[in-house]
Structure 1
Amino acid sequence: MTETLIQSPLALGLLFVALGLVAGIPAGMFGIGGGLILVPVFVAVFSLLAFDSASLVQLAVGSSLGAIIPTAILSARAHHRRGGVDGAAVRRLLPGIIVGALIGAWLATRIDSDHLGRIFGAFEVAIGIWMLLNIQPPEAPVPRRSVWLGGGALIGAISSLIGIGGGTLTTPFLVSQGLELRRAIGSAAALGVPISVGASLVFALPQWTDPAYQAPEWALGYLYLPAILGVVIGTSISVRGGVWLTHHLPVAHLRRGFAGILILAGLLMLIR
């Protein structure tokens, strides 16, 4: 019954829009990309749709990155208009970010789907604990180019490997290098654009480069287009609500609640 209902085009479209509405709230509140929510829910939905289990997590990760592109662009523009993007910091991280994003996405398309799911689950639990403890990065600016290049490469690789926009990692790195928090968040949003665009291109490639891969209907490689479209619609509506909540509700309590959700979702990904 559930599988029949979810395969209805209208019900499926509404489900993805609703998912976008949910994912946009923490994105607006905490500057954390929706991938931490999108990937585990995509895995659950794609399982109900009986997609090939051998590529299930790759499809979820790729679709998450595809859905992040327009959100990252809109967010970056909004921060830029308010002077919240540090151009020098973006330029210093950009080369490493691009290289890392391409490598991470390439690795994700070649790792066993179950192993990739466990990597995501472990990372999500770690981020949940970090948010729960509200650990602040120490300010220890290191001006060496190698530190920025290596830091960018690591951020890009991890982000594209597990399907997030990178703000979870980029913001603490920039704060540790002396940027004020709001400018760090704005700069991280700008850097989410090359991460999501570069990684999405790699996740689309199996459509033409892997004859053995049978993409689901309406998918481009590992990008499931109906999911991306629905989530983009929902996120574009709800992200403003997340910003509003930040200024009107006790964020510390909401942070703990969201951390609990991440830990639970991560554990479910680990034991699936």
Structure 2
Amino acid sequence: MNEWTELIPLAGAMLATGVLAGLLAGLLGVGGGIVIVPVLEAALGGLGVDPAIRMHIAVATSLATIILTSVMSARAHHSRGAVDFVAARAWGLYILFGAILGAVLASRLHSSVLALIFGTVAVLMALRMLLFGGRAPGPARAMPMGVLARLVPLGIGGLSSMMGIGGGTFSVPVLTLLGQPIHRAVGTSAFFGLLISLPGAIAFGLAGWGDPRLPPGSVGFVNLAGLAFIAPMTMLAAPWGARLAHHLNARQLNLAFGLFLLIVALRMLYRAL
């Protein structure tokens, strides 16, 4: 009975995490993984899971929840005409391949190196959003051609998959740099989240298949218990965030995203240093 009692606050924390992650997904075009990953990692630590695989489980489970969140968020934004399918066609395949590569490489790179790279890039993007966001977008630029047409979306997919996030942390600032209005950048990023999370979760599931250190209820590194608690709340809350996004003006949304990025970046840099 005591074991079940101890699981009650854990379940409550995961449900609340799902609501916050869903709101962030709809509001900012992110998958909510930046909230899910640290909560799951701490919860798994409390359950005594081997520290060598805790982050793998947290990242993989986060990606699995983002599959559902991205679908709900992208549908809500699409209903408002805020998904750019030209960008989706140009970048979609590269983002998907990047997500697969990122998941495969994640276990081979030291987490502090990933955190340092992520934090540095995110700080620069956050400062741009905070200092220059909300201004009228410049003339729309063409999507990058040649090598950049492959490297930019590959990098977005790869880094996002490694960190267990939906990609909005990178794709929203990049799309705004290309002249996309912030609402359209957020909506398109929500669609990209599906292309990142689905192959990423599958790759992590296969990578951890049969590992004897996994907690009960795991399919590879994806933990079904965490998925069951968090995913319904993210699906419920993502449309709320999307509706809220369209009630904010561009400056307010840029400020919200910039502050979000800055918090994420400082957390990552703290972990890396």
TM above 0.5, one fold?
yes
Q: Measured at CA, do residues 147 and 266 of structure 1 come closer, stay the same or move farther in structure 2, by a change above 3 Å?
A: closer
> Is the deviation greater in 240-249 or in 198-207?
240-249
Structure 2 match to 1:269? 271
**1:205 is paired with a residue of what secondary structure?**
helix
Structure-2 residue corresponding to 1:181: 182
The residue number in structure 2 matching 1:237 is 236
Cα pair 1:5 1:11 within 8 Å, conserved: no
Q: Which residue of 2 aligns with 1:38?
A: 36
The aligned runs of 1:1-272 (5 Å cut-off) are 8-112=6-110, 133=131, 140-208=141-209, 213-243=212-242, 245-246=244-245, 247=247, 258=260, 261-263=263-265, 265-266=267-268, 269-270=271-272
Pair 1:127–1:18, CA change in 2 (3 A): farther
CA distance in 2, matches of 1:49, 1:244: 37
* Alignment partners' CA distance in 1, 2:225 and 2:185: 32
Q: Secondary structure at the match of 2:227?
A: helix
Q: Match for 1:50: what amino acid?
A: G
Q: Percent identity?
A: 34
Preserved CA contact (<8 Å) 1:121 1:269: no
Measured after TM superposition, the shift of residue 5 of structure 1 is 6.8
Unaligned runs of 5+ in 1: none
| 1:258 Cα deviation after fit | 4.2
Q: Which moved more, 1:148-157 or 1:228-237?
A: 228-237
Cα displacement (A) at 1:6: 8.4
Which segment drifts farther, 240-249 or 69-78? 240-249
- Cα drift, residue 97 of structure 1: 0.7
State the one-letter code of the partner of 2:46: L
Q: Is contact 1:215–1:222 with CA below 8 Å preserved after alignment?
A: yes
Write the letter of the residue equivalent to 2:220.
Answer: G
Structure 2: which 5+ runs fail to align?
Answer: none
Do the aligned partners of residues 7 and 48 (structure 1) sit closer, same or farther apart at CA in structure 2, a change above 3 Å counting?
A: farther
Q: d(CA) in 2 for partners of 1:248 and 1:143?
A: 29
The offset of 1:168, in angstroms, is 1.8
- Is the 2:30–2:190 Cα contact (8 Å) retained in structure 1? no
Shift of 1:264: 5.6
Task: Give the CA deviation at 1:226.
Answer: 1.3
TM-score, with length taken from structure 2: 0.81
Q: List per-residue Cα deviations over 1:138-184 (Å, max 9, x = no partner).
A: 86535524322221111111110111111221222233334333332
2:168–2:193 contact (8 Å) kept in structure 1: yes
**Separation in 2, partners of 1:215, 1:192:** 26
Distance apart, 1:63 and its partner CA: 1.1
1:59-105 Cα deviation digits (max 9, x unpaired): 11111111100011112222223322222211110121121111100
- Residue 240 of structure 1: CA displacement? 3.8
Larger mean CA deviation between 38-47 and 78-87 belongs to: 78-87
RMSD: 3.2
